[in-house]
Amino acid sequence: MVELWLGLCELKDLWELYMHDNSVTGHVPLGLENFAMMINMDISANKLSGELPASLSKLQMIEYLNLSHNTFDGHIPEQLDHM
């Protein structure tokens, strides 16, 4: 699954990503700050785990973000309070 995320993080002009209920495993990558144009992201209902990366706060254009129904653990990064 690492290859999938690495490939996606190279798409700097991507503004929508819908991967709901696709059995995606692993961690959310740190390279999300590359998604400067991202408006809608739904990666809910997968098998994602680990801590949420603080880089999610760099999604400055985001209007819709759904991370529900995964198995994240740890603390929610303080930076996400300002989204």
Q: How far apart are CA 32 and CA 50, in angstroms?
A: 15
* Predicted local confidence at residue 31, as pLDDT: 82
Picking from 29, 70, 31, the residue whose alpha carbon sits closest to that of residue 49 is: 70
* Predicted local confidence at residue 6, as pLDDT: 72
Per-residue tokens: 81:
């309070």
pLDDT 10s digits, 7-60:
887 888 999 999 999 999 988 888 887 888 999 999 999 999 999 999 899 999
**Taking the model in full, what pTM does it have?**
0.85
Q: How far apart are CA 59 and CA 37, in angstroms?
A: 8
pLDDT 10s digits, 56-78:
999 999 999 999 999 999 888 89
Per-residue tokens: 12:
């700097």
Is the pLDDT at 1 greater than 60? The verdict is: no
Q: How far apart are CA 58 and CA 63, in angstroms?
A: 13
